Amino acid sequence: MRESRHTLCIMIEQILAATIRQATPLLIVALGEIIVQRSGVINIGLEGIMILSAFIGWLSSFYIQEVSVGFAPWTGILFGAFSGALLAALFATLILGFKTDQVVTGTGINLLAFGLVEVLYRRIFGTTGEALKVTIFQPLHIPLLSNLPFVGSILFRHNILVYVAFLGVPLIYFYLFHTYHGLAIQACGEHPKAADTVGVDVLRLQAKCVLFGGFMAGIAGGYLSLADVPYFSPEMTAGRGFIALSIVIFGKWHPVKACGAALLFGLGNALPDRLQAIPNLGFIPYQFFLMAPYVLTLLVLTGFVGHTKPPAALALPFRRE
């Protein structure tokens, strides 16, 4: 009996620690998209931005580690973030400058990014790229706190990007609801014409928000290939960009609620591997466990989480009169 309890406790620790790790990239990209959608723009090209950033970050880290191993992951995450911002700049130019449809343009960004990554990946590495490993961010054991029983391994033994992501929640909350610029962003998403009449440059502010969202999605993509695993795969995003969109909806465009939603989806990603290890559940095909995060996404998008009210001017192009 004591052994079974100890085993159960260890499994719960592993699941909760994995939940935080799996929630981190979802939270990072969701925080950026909250800013974007609060400004009145929706970017469904997050999946494409993440995969391109994961590749660029991994590629730059792969070459830099030959010169400096210690700086390799930092260089990679910066290259990934800026590549995400660059792709977001293309998106912003099209939707704000040429007034293209935001959903169609976001879809085009996804197709462009995946096609570009596939071509570059095979051109540079052929079919051997997955075997090439890079130096990744290592877990930081917080002194004293990491030695606490149970909670120590769950909360205080993660890489630095995990801590930065969760620190971003109160920072984004304060920025959105307690600063002039944050309130201006919300005004652009609710009533851009009214914001324009009081001197807010709506298009410029929306462009900045889109760039920030791309930068955050770039960090999230870099996390996948520089903190989660030490290699790159063209399928490694696994729908996380679309899941992040549902987290924004589930979290009702609020950073704190989105954090809770990201943890829920992180749990959905963390459970499959652990549940398959339980002997009594061995008769269930593993594909059913892998469905968990996508089932959650469908439930959110089909309205099972209750009524949500998006920004009034979301996805509506602003034309200054």
User: Which CATH number fits the domain that encloses residue 158?
Assistant: 1.10.3470
Mean pLDDT score of the chain: 89
- Tell me, yes or no, whether 237 lies in a domain: yes
- Tell me, yes or no, whether 77 lies in a domain: yes
- Least confident residue range of 110-119, 202-211, 290-299: 290-299
Check: CB of residue 266 under 8 Å from CB of residue 20. Answer: yes
Give me the pLDDT at residue 136, please. Answer: 92
Give me the pLDDT at residue 286, please. Answer: 61
If we measure between CA atoms, which residue out of 242, 304, 250, 296 comes closest to residue 272?
A: 296
- Tell me, yes or no, whether 48 lies in a domain: yes
Check: CB of residue 59 under 8 Å from CB of residue 225. Answer: no
Give me the pLDDT at residue 305, please. Answer: 60
As to burial, measured by CB atoms within 10 angstroms (0-12 exposed, 13-18 middle, 19+ buried), residue 307 is: exposed
- Tell me, yes or no, whether 314 lies in a domain: no
Structural domain count, the chain: 1
- Residue 129: is its pLDDT beyond 60? no
As to burial, measured by CB atoms within 10 angstroms (0-12 exposed, 13-18 middle, 19+ buried), residue 268 is: buried
- Tell me, yes or no, whether 7 lies in a domain: no
Tell me the per-residue pLDDT of 61-99, one tens digit each, with 9 for 90 and over. Answer: 999 987 877 789 999 999 999 999 999 999 999 999 999
- This model's pTM is above 0.75: yes
- Least confident residue range of 40-44, 251-255, 301-305: 301-305
Of the two residues 4 and 19, the one the predictor is more confident about is: 19
Give me the pLDDT at residue 139, please. Answer: 93
DSSP H stretches of helix in the chain: 2-38, 46-64, 72-92, 102-125, 151-155, 160-178, 180-190, 192-197, 202-223, 240-250, 255-276, 286-290, 292-301
Question: What is the C-alpha separation between 258 and 294, in angstroms, rounded?
Answer: 17
Q: Which domain does 128 fall in, by range?
A: 16-138+154-301
Check: CB of residue 33 under 8 Å from CB of residue 47. Answer: no
Tell me the per-residue pLDDT of 131-185, one tens digit each, with 9 for 90 and over. Answer: 688 989 999 999 989 999 889 999 999 999 999 999 999 999 999 999 999 999 9
- Residue 283: is its pLDDT beyond 80? no
- Least confident residue range of 15-24, 86-95, 297-306: 297-306
Give me the pLDDT at residue 116, please. Answer: 96
- Residue 304: is its pLDDT beyond 70? no
- Tell me, yes or no, whether 321 lies in a domain: no
pLDDT band at residue 127 under the 50/70/90 scheme: low
Single-letter amino acid, residue 125: F
- Tell me, yes or no, whether 3 lies in a domain: no
Single-letter amino acid, residue 232: F
Phi/psi at 140 (nearest 5 deg)? -105, 120
Instruction: State mean pLDDT over 259-273.
Output: 87
- Tell me, yes or no, whether 145 lies in a domain: no
Give me the pLDDT at residue 33, please. Answer: 98
Question: What is the C-alpha separation between 52 and 218, in angstroms, rounded?
Answer: 8
